Copies of this chain bind each other. A is one copy, B any other.
Amino acid sequence: MATGRTHRPATRSRGIPEATVARLPLYLRALTALSERSVPTVSSEELAAAAGVNSAKLRKDFSYLGSYGTRGVGYDVEYLVYQISRELGLTQDWPVVIVGIGNLGAALANYGGFASRGFRVAALIDADPAMAGKPVAGMPVQHTDELEKIIEENGVSIGVIATPAGAAQQVSERLIAAGVTSILNFAPTVLQVPEGVDVRKVDLSIELQILAFHEQRKAGDAEAAAAAAASVLPPRAADGPTRKGPDGDVPAVMPA
């Protein structure tokens, strides 16, 4: 999960659990694929497999939306596509701005998945005057000076930050002051935002670090398994009420 919400700790969204909301786009994608193949109905089992979840979870998720299935048959693909789209608010148009048109910003601007789901890139904004006017993804880059004007004129409520870390906080403040209430942050910084503003973050480095943790553990497991096979003692035996470092491999010398 390359992500993380920010506030709204208690306020659960209209009775739909956050975890369910996070999966709806997944279901929607699978359903759209079925729709394109003109499949009329799916069972929870089939759809769950396509979305990479288990069927009980999927049925529970759908139960929060209403009773949209038919017992003994399954779910009507078209109907579900519509209901989920509506639930996610994709039946309306969402103008977004992308701030920071470096490699990543350009990649986002070119990303087809935006336009296809009700999202419309209203503007590309960069602080570099040399970028101004340059076409990226068939759209002229605009200077940061125009930020407030663009947001107000287009009624933008969702902003994407793809700037360097150092600029992100200030950009977010300008976006919010101009009326943005949802931010997708690609900069590796924790944004400080007022109550009522949603922030989701995508952090490449964090994702890799989590993978590294598990990768390391696989190697450790292999060793542990080998050791366990060779020894009679179970792995992780002697580990009583010792403190200061749950491992055996705590270095004698700490780094300065």
Max count, chain B CB within 10 A of own CB: residue among A92, A113, A158, A250: A113
B94 lies within 8 A of A212 (CB): yes
Cα distance A5–B157 in the bound complex, in angstroms: 30
A209 lies within 8 A of B88 (CB): yes
Question: A78 interface residue, CB < 8 Å from B?
Answer: yes
Interface size class of A (residues with CB under 8 A): 35 or more
Q: A66-B244, A209-B25 are in contact. Are A113 and B188 (CB under 8 A)?
A: yes
Which residue of chain B is the closest to A66 with respect to CB atoms? B245
Q: A15-B246, A202-B202, A217-B13 are in contact. Are A3 and B207 (CB under 8 A)?
A: yes
Cα distance A56–B190 in the bound complex, in angstroms: 18
Q: A3-B1, A3-B2, A6-B52 are in contact. Are A208 and B184 (CB under 8 A)?
A: yes
Q: A78-B254, A208-B114, A246-B66 are in contact. Are A89 and B215 (CB under 8 A)?
A: yes
B157 lies within 8 A of A215 (CB): yes
Cα distance A52–B4 in the bound complex, in angstroms: 10
Residues of B within 8 A of A210 (CB): 21-22, 25, 200
**How many copies of the shown chain assemble into the complex?**
2
Question: A39 interface residue, CB < 8 Å from B?
Answer: no
Q: In A1-46, which residues have CB < 8 Å from any B CB?
A: 1-6, 8, 13-15, 21-22, 24-26, 28-30
Cα distance A114–B205 in the bound complex, in angstroms: 6
Question: A139 interface residue, CB < 8 Å from B?
Answer: no
Partner of A13, one of B158, B205, B214: B214
Partner of A22, one of B1, B216, B247: B1
Question: A198 interface residue, CB < 8 Å from B?
Answer: yes
Residues of chain A at the chain B interface (Cβ within 8 Å): 1-6, 8, 13-15, 21-22, 24-26, 28-30, 50-52, 64-68, 78-79, 81-83, 87-90, 92, 94, 96, 102-104, 106-108, 110-111, 113-114, 116-119, 157-158, 160, 181-184, 188, 190, 196, 198, 200-218, 220, 243-247, 250, 254-256
- Which 4 A-B residue pairings sit nearest by Cβ, starting from the closest? A1-B3, A89-B216, A2-B2, A103-B107
